[in-house]
Amino acid sequence: MRNRIFTAETRRRGVFLNKNRVRLVAFFFSASLCLGGLFSAAAQSDGSQQNKTGRAGTFAIVNARVVTVSGAVIENGTVVIQDGKIVAVGASVNIPSNAEKIDGKGLSVYPGMIDAGTNLGLAEIGQGANATMDVAETGTQNANAKAILAVNPHSSHVNVTRVNGITTVQTYPSGGLIAGQSAVINLNGSTQAEMAVVSAEGLVINFPRIATFGGFNPGVGPQVIEFNDAVKRRDTQIDELKKTFKSAENYGRAKDAYAKDKSLPYPATDLRLEALVPYVRGQRPIIFTVERERDIRAVARFVADMKVKGIIVGGQEAWKAADELKKNNIAVIYTNIYNLPVRDDDSYDYLYEAPSKLQQAGVRFAISTGDGGAEVRDLPYQAGIAGAFGLSKEDALKSVTLYPAQILGVDDRLGSIEVGKMANIVVTDGDLLEPRTNIKYLFIGGRLLALTSRHTELFDSFKDRKESNQPLP
């Protein structure tokens, strides 16, 4: 099959498919947003599909093209899965006698994709069913809020996403200044514990930004805040954040001192400060949601001043601050492929090219949908678009497999096909990032899963329906 994303012609013309089809993709994307409110009530799931967690066993995928991602492609290779892990990979490996063989002739084997910037499992129906939304807590400081405790394993979005080759996501809370702690989950399991890869991955901070929009007054119109006043507001919020971090450092010291010497006064428990301790000490990463260059540079200064580990989610203009990001070893989880350019004079491909610019500047990055759940399934196509606008085919694939695993610190378990890693495997009949490719087999944690979802059930219910010639009564 000819790969339409990575042909020389598309590179030369600088378009994904062509301009008309880009407009068509944008039209249908916008239409889906508009219609989502009308049909969202039908998206609720009874969980029956998600309770079908597949079957374990020993499997051998033979005679397949194995795209390891971390190494060379193995033509006519074999992958052996046992006890939930990859136990053998190569052109000539020993296959256990009890293994169930899967003939991979004409098929390709890939590691499962990872979307590192979602609310999947926390958000179901955005309009009209508030009880299905659990993305934010009240208040502005919620470091102790953990996304893993709110994940709904029976969300309709789980199956819809995984049957398209996405096997793992980072899901995180939003709202307030300190939103809470993210989790890395596999898209299979009946409970949060079964899904969890890392139950507390990173601390999510909606970093203060310079905002000159002060709201809308129906009688007057939009209210504008003077730029200098907006800067002062932002700086005040950052100072408050730094004070909170200092308080957490002091709290951690007091707890450590008491642990060593019980004669000291016992420090009163503060759940919010206690949750902050591993982050202010640089033991775990802090995830900053930020888009504009000036705000990204402010994040870099904050990371340097507080000596913490930083990751940026969003990063629309991150490539413009690449020098500071590289200097402070801040990775970017880029979520803007499907977004429209912000400024009127930005070119149509302005956001498509950003990942390649980050790579050229030496900034670690991954591509993410940044979606709450329904559109996470489009992750391979977003990476494909970036591949048509500067990224190599190999790096486009790594941007949704190995690179996010490295950024999240789970590359010892996920992101590539290597012996000892978790068996999150996708078997396809074509290029993983090509929209026309079909998923043939799917493994998560070594369990072979049915390729069914609400979408496939809806398709099956109508595909053989015959036209009726019976007139209306």
Instruction: Please count the CA atoms within 13 angstroms of the CA of 203 that sit on its side-chain side.
Output: 27
14 vs 68, which has greater pLDDT? 68
pLDDT tens digits for range 239-260: 999 999 999 999 999 999 999 9
Mean pLDDT of 167-176: 95
Mean pLDDT of 388-404: 97
Q: What tokens were used for 142?
A: 């919620």
pLDDT at res. 49 = 60
User: What are the φ and ψ backbone dihedral angles of 402, each rounded to 5 degrees?
Assistant: -70, -40
Q: What pLDDT band is residue 17 in, cutting at 50, 70 and 90?
A: very low
pLDDT at res. 127 = 78
pLDDT tens digits for range 270-301: 999 999 999 999 999 999 999 999 999 999 99
Separation in Å, CA 254 to CA 230, 250, 265, 273, 281? 36, 6, 9, 12, 14
What strands lie across the sheet with 365-367, from one edge to the other?
178-181, 203-206, 285-290, 309-314, 331-334, 365-367
Residue 51 pLDDT more than 70?
no
What does R_g of the chain's alpha carbons equal in angstroms? Answer: 24
In angstroms, the CA 428 to CA 421 distance is 20
35 vs 250, which has greater pLDDT? 250
pLDDT at res. 336 = 96
In angstroms, the CA 212 to CA 18 distance is 37
pLDDT tens digits for range 404-452: 999 999 999 999 999 999 999 999 999 999 999 999 999 999 999 999 8
Contact 143, 175 (CB under 8 A): no
In angstroms, the CA 54 to CA 11 distance is 40
pLDDT at res. 142 = 94
Instruction: Please count the CA atoms within 13 angstroms of the CA of 389 that sit on its side-chain side.
Output: 23
Domains defined for the chain, CATH in brackets = 1-48+112-415 (3.20.20.140)
In angstroms, the CA 146 to CA 221 distance is 39
pLDDT tens digits for range 102-118: 999 999 999 999 999 99
Burial of 361 (0-12, 13-18, 19+ CB in 10 A): middle
- The percent of the chain in helix, strand and coil, each rounded to the nearest 5, is 35, 20, 45
Q: What pLDDT band is residue 7 in, cutting at 50, 70 and 90?
A: very low
Mean pLDDT of 85-91: 96
187 vs 47, which has greater pLDDT? 187
User: What are the φ and ψ backbone dihedral angles of 338, each rounded to 5 degrees?
Assistant: -85, -5
